[in-house]
Amino acid sequence: MQFAPAYPILYRVLKPLFPTCLWSGAGHDRVVALTYDDGPHPDYTPSLLAVLERYGVTASFFWLGICVQRSPAIARAIHNQGHWIGIHGYDHQSFPLLSATALRQTLERTQAEIHSACQLHPNAIRDVRPPNGLFTPQTLALLQQWQYRPVMWSVVPEDWVRPGVPIVMQRVLQQVQNGSIIVLHDGVHGGADVAETTAQLIPLLAAQDYKFVTIDQLWQSRL
């Protein structure tokens, strides 16, 4: 079952209820953030990276620690290309199912793998997107206590079920607006299509005068 029609509704409902999360950028700026979850992947991420480099677009990646451990050279290439790096947990366990201790461990283990691969200090890796977009008020309170920044989304085309590039494109273009955070996947689920989706999406958004920014730039615009 696909839930794509529900995500715009969830976004509108949840955004005002949880304002400490980054759901989107300022509505007056014609910018969008391309974000990628579940990588890095040895087969899918290099092709995606080549597309981003070809168009000169800087994106944001939310990594699984176990994938960084498996593909450190690819992680290093992403970082060296200047993309913004965040945390998606160590192995995609749902945050609400974890104890406070286990939650902190999944974050710190991922930071450690990123540091090992990219020499990024853990203090420089503070953005966290919960796996499956699931969190509780308690989750957010712990992230705030530990000085992490929770990042969500505003455009979720559900590419991980591989509905086909045309459908993913249609969903993004129907929903995108100023400040949108677009979620795609370069991992096992959805990654086979991600390079082609991105290659088609970038010129279409650019033709609508959208500029591409990172998650950090969206945070800065809120200050």
Reply yes or no on whether 79 is catalytic. Answer: no
Non-local CB neighbours of 155 within 8 Å, separated by 6+ positions: 7, 171, 172, 175, 176, 180, 181, 182, 183
- DSSP-assigned letters across all residues of 9-77: HHHHHHHHH-TTSB----TTS-EEEEEEES---TTTHHHHHHHHHHHT---EEEE-HHHHHH-HHHHHH
Q: Report CA-CA distances (Å) from 151 to 31, 75, 116, 129.
A: 17, 20, 23, 5
- Known active-site residue 83: no
DSSP string covering 62-75: EE-HHHHHH-HHHH
Cβ contacts of 84 within 8 Å, gap of 6 or more: 58, 59, 60, 61, 127, 214, 215, 216
Catalytic residue from among 88, 185, 193, 216: 185
φ and ψ at residue 3, rounded to 5 degrees: -115, 15
| Bridge partners for 150 per DSSP | 128
Catalytic residues: 37, 185
